[in-house]
Amino acid sequence: RSEITTPDALTEEEGSELSLRPQRLVEFIGQDKVKESLQIAIDAALSRREPLDHTLFYGPPGLGKTTLALLMARELGVNIKITAAPVLEKPADLVRELTTLREGDILFIDEIHRLRPIIEEFLYPAMEDWRIDVRLSDGPHAQMISMPVEKFTLIGATTRYGLLTPPMRARFGIVQRLHYYPVDALAFIVERTAEILGVGCDKYGAMEIARRSRGTPRVANRLMRRVRDYAQVRADGVITRDVADAALVMLDVDEFGLDEMDTRVLRSLIEQFGGGPVGLNTLAVALGEDAGTLEEVYEPFLIQNGFLMRTPRGRVATALAYRRFGYAPPVDGAT
Binding site for ligand ADP (CB under 6 A): 17, 20-22, 28-30, 61-67, 157, 189, 217-218, 221
Other C-beta atoms closer than 10 Å to the C-beta of 5 total 25
As a whole number of Å, the CA-based R_g of the chain is: 23
Pair 171, 54: CB distance under 8 Å = yes
Measured from the CB atom, the residue of 65 and 214 that comes closer to ligand ADP is 65
* Shortest CB 157 distance to ligand ADP, Å: 6
Measured from the CB atom, the residue of 272 and 293 that comes closer to ligand ADP is 293
Reply yes or no on whether 177 is catalytic: no
Measured from the CB atom, the residue of 29 and 231 that comes closer to ligand ADP is 29
Residue 287 one-letter amino acid: L
Active-site residue, selected from the candidate residues 5, 6, 65, 259? 65
Measured from the CB atom, the residue of 22 and 276 that comes closer to ligand ADP is 22
Measured from the CB atom, the residue of 98 and 186 that comes closer to ligand ADP is 186
* Shortest CB 43 distance to ligand ADP, Å: 20
Whether 298 has a binding-site annotation, put simply, is: no
* Shortest CB 161 distance to ligand ADP, Å: 13
Reply yes or no on whether 66 is catalytic: yes
Distance CA 44, CA 143 (A): 40
Distance CA 155, CA 84 (A): 11
Whether 5 has a binding-site annotation, put simply, is: no
Whether 21 has a binding-site annotation, put simply, is: yes
Reply yes or no on whether 35 is catalytic: no
Distance CA 296, CA 300 (A): 7
* Shortest CB 220 distance to ligand ADP, Å: 8
* Shortest CB 141 distance to ligand ADP, Å: 43
Whether 74 has a binding-site annotation, put simply, is: no
Pair 76, 42: CB distance under 8 Å = yes
Reply yes or no on whether 159 is catalytic: yes
- DSSP summary character for residue 298: I
Whether 81 has a binding-site annotation, put simply, is: no
Active-site residue, selected from the candidate residues 5, 6, 55, 66? 66
Active-site residue, selected from the candidate residues 212, 218, 228, 324? 218
| Residue with nearest beta carbon to ligand ADP | 64
Reply yes or no on whether 129 is catalytic: no
Whether 181 has a binding-site annotation, put simply, is: yes
* Shortest CB 15 distance to ligand ADP, Å: 11
| 24-40 burial code (b ≥16 CB/10 A, e <16) | ebeebbbbeebbeebee
According to DSSP H, which parts of the chain are helical?
14-20, 32-48, 65-76, 91-99, 117-129, 166-170, 183-197, 203-211, 217-234, 241-250, 260-271, 280-287, 291-293, 299-304, 319-324
| Cα separations in angstroms, 238 against 132, 234, 278 | 56, 10, 47
Distance CA 158, CA 120 (A): 15
Whether 223 has a binding-site annotation, put simply, is: no
Measured from the CB atom, the residue of 28 and 122 that comes closer to ligand ADP is 28
Active-site residue, selected from the candidate residues 105, 110, 259, 262? 110
- The binding site for DNA comprises 310, 315
- The binding site for ATP comprises 20-21, 62, 65-67, 171, 181, 218
Q: Which residues are annotated as catalytic?
A: 65-66, 110, 159, 218
